[in-house]
Amino acid sequence: MFRFGVDYYPEHWPEERWPEDARLMAEASINVVRLAEFAWSFLEPQPGCFDFDWLDRAIAILHGQGIQVVLGTPTASAPPWVMAMFPDSYKVNEDGHRRTYGNRCEFCPTHAGYRERGRMVTRAMADHYADHPAVIGWQIDNELNGRCYCPNCQSGFQQWLQVRYATLEKLNVTWGTAFWSHVYTDWSQVPVPVETGGVPNPGLDLDFRRFMSDTFAGFQQEQVDILRQLCPTHFVTHNFMSFGFDQINYYDLAKPLDFVSWDNYPRTGWHLVKEADHAYLALGHDATRGFKGKPFWVMEEQSGSGGWQTVGMTPRPGEMRLWTYQAIAHGADAIIYFRWRTARFGTEQYWHGVLYHHGQPGRRYDELKSIGSELKRAGEQFLGAENRNQVAMILSYDTRWAFQGQQNHADFSYDSLFGSYYKALHAHNIGVDILPPGADLSRYRLVIAPALYILPDEPAERLRSFVQNGGLLIATARSGVKDEANAVVDRYLPGLLAAVCGVEVEEYDVQPADSTIPLELALPDRETLSAQARLWFDVLHTTTAQPIATYQSGYFSGSPAITLNRFGEGKAIYVGTLGDDALHDAVVDWALQSIDLHSAIHAPAGVEVAERWQGDERLLFLLNHTDQIVEVPVTQSYADLLGGTTVNQSVQLPPYGVSVLHNQA
């Protein structure tokens, strides 16, 4: 069954209303709800006194309507009594300030007492619901996030370092503490990188970010262990945030879970944007699928205006359905909308759900209902379908964290560079897998590794053999700059990629963002194009590569900026500048053409085409992200999976409309 659900908070509403909620949900074909991830005060009103009666009654009403339940462990927001019990369990911010009560996710992840209470409530819930016929799985906590700089985290960090380095000598050499005489002679001297009035040692800084990420993974693991032991038939997941969340290594966090979930808010309310950025949403889905390399759930899908203090744009008619199918196209096996009914109180009283505060069904409920009945009919055909992509991008958390510590250029953003290359692929409707460094690349034809700044031996070797065996690699400036310790390599850049790319960086220069340098881009078999280099300018010496773009001004005018190298059976393009979107588009366009990779359907701008495979059958999703009617030409006959018709020459999509076509391969 395709799971179609809502996030529901019965504890916000009088109990007399629950049957009406469940009835309306069932009428909309809702078959699953997520419950209780913020209900700790009600589950354990006093230390050790658990109360599941109210939740049992809510679940019984839902189950009576055929609705199943995913339970959240409630540790993201603790009742005041927990925090009063452990005043030192509030997170300490980077500026050394300790938080106080009133928000959520305010706990220090290394605090033994908090963790123990978290295990206790998890164990009590797991014990109680292990055999409940309505309960199918668990969400651990909620959007784990944050970093803590308290004394307890400092000693946790010191212990983590002892495991990593075994001796202080090794740590001192690895971090290069010879610099400024920071040579540690006792583990207890090692600080956390709080506001020191300067820039911390890059080795220490990166290790602290790794430690915090590992700490959250360990926090999650304790609850996973309890659930695996007590509820062996239930699945365990966690709701991740979008591609842009960069504090926890999501590849690590995904490991012990059955599948990954994420929370998708196309029109958040923090920034009022006229159009949801559909390429960025696609990136969120693709990144999420990549964290575990398999289909995922959307645990929270926007269904109303977002907003805490200000109110965001309401999803336009059709957008809920469009976002639902976009998620499915990129690998979602379940969609759960946030939230059933808009809360009347609390911080999120303007974060709207399917129903307004008044609780009466309206336009968005009607849309939910029609999506629900469509997926009841068609949803099973999408379950477990594969996204078989020939293009991969490499996403490195070590690189992200190293850039967090040292941005390199005030206008440079790793995420934006990554997004810019991703968007260039997305504009061609080419599916992308997003992989960690060191992943197996043998099934791909094109790999883009933007600014792979921290590049240890193994991932470098993967890229080398990928090209050696016939792949096409695109690498950029600020690749191979550092080793695993966040120390700069003692060789020509791009370090371990220099031979594959056939270049050596002789010099580099940076300039203000508004000072661009024109490039003459002579891609093989193409007319010469003009593009702009910006921010970062590698001056390249070609060893075996051929220049395909040269700088047209500045003291290094005439030197190569972009090169193409043959290496083994394959090729590598090195883009020695951080460029602009037009440059990335041109390079990606050429790369796709050179490996003859194109989308099965050529759609007009604003229409996304994505494909999944169910065995030999290809499912083609046409997603109209515009508010206009569009006509999409097709060159063969397809069956329209949702409409039940056959399509021959073209498909007409209404504003925000969707069509799913299929044919035998």
Q: What is the DSSP string of 296-307?
A: EEEEEEE-S---
Q: Which is nearer to ligand GLA, 7 or 205 (CB)?
A: 7
Q: Going by C-beta distance under 8 Å and a sequence separation of 6 or more, which residues neighbour residue 228?
A: 236
348 lies in the site for ligand GLA, by CB under 6 A: yes
The whole-angstrom separation of Cα 157 and Cα 173 is 18
CB of 268 to ligand GLA, least distance (A): 8
Closest of 617, 213, 237, 244 to residue 434, by C-alpha: 244
The yes-or-no answer on residue 143 being catalytic is yes
The whole-angstrom separation of Cα 15 and Cα 75 is 24
The yes-or-no answer on residue 15 being catalytic is no
**What is the pairing mode between strands 638-640 and 658-664?**
antiparallel
Of the candidates 73, 142, 479, 594, which one interacts with ligand GLA according to CB under 6 A?
142
Q: Which is nearer to ligand GLA, 41 or 373 (CB)?
A: 41
Q: Residue 157 phi/psi, 5° resolution?
A: -65, -45
Q: Binding to ligand GLA (CB under 6 A): which residues in 37-96?
A: none
Active-site residue (options: 37, 44, 106, 300) = 300
300 lies in the site for ligand GLA, by CB under 6 A: yes
Q: Binding to ligand GLA (CB under 6 A): which residues in 317-346?
A: 338
**Cβ pair 428, 599 in contact under 8 A:** yes
263 lies in the site for ligand GLA, by CB under 6 A: yes
Q: Which is nearer to ligand GLA, 357 or 376 (CB)?
A: 357
**Cβ pair 599, 429 in contact under 8 A:** yes
**Number of residues this chain uses to bind ligand GLA (CB under 6 A):** 7
Q: Which is nearer to ligand GLA, 142 or 396 (CB)?
A: 142
Q: Which is nearer to ligand GLA, 346 or 633 (CB)?
A: 346
CB-based closest residue to ligand GLA: 263
Residue with tokens 């339940």: 69
**Cβ pair 384, 295 in contact under 8 A:** yes
Q: Which is nearer to ligand GLA, 143 or 504 (CB)?
A: 143
296 lies in the site for ligand GLA, by CB under 6 A: no
Residue with tokens 């805490």: 308
106 lies in the site for ligand GLA, by CB under 6 A: no
261 lies in the site for ligand GLA, by CB under 6 A: no
**Cβ pair 427, 416 in contact under 8 A:** no
526 residue type, one letter: R
For the chain, how big is the Rg over CA atoms in Å?
A: 26
Of the candidates 9, 351, 412, 551, which one interacts with ligand GLA according to CB under 6 A?
351
Active-site residue (options: 143, 319, 504, 611) = 143
CB of 216 to ligand GLA, least distance (A): 15
User: How far, rounded to the nearest angstrom, does the alpha carbon of residue 419 sit from its chain's CA centroid?
Assistant: 12
262 lies in the site for ligand GLA, by CB under 6 A: no
Length of the chain: 665
In the chain, what is the greatest distance between 2 CA atoms, to the nearest angstrom? 77
Q: Binding to ligand GLA (CB under 6 A): which residues in 456-515?
A: none
Annotated catalytic residues are 143, 300
Contact residues: ligand GLA, CB under 6 A: 142-143, 263, 300, 338, 348, 351
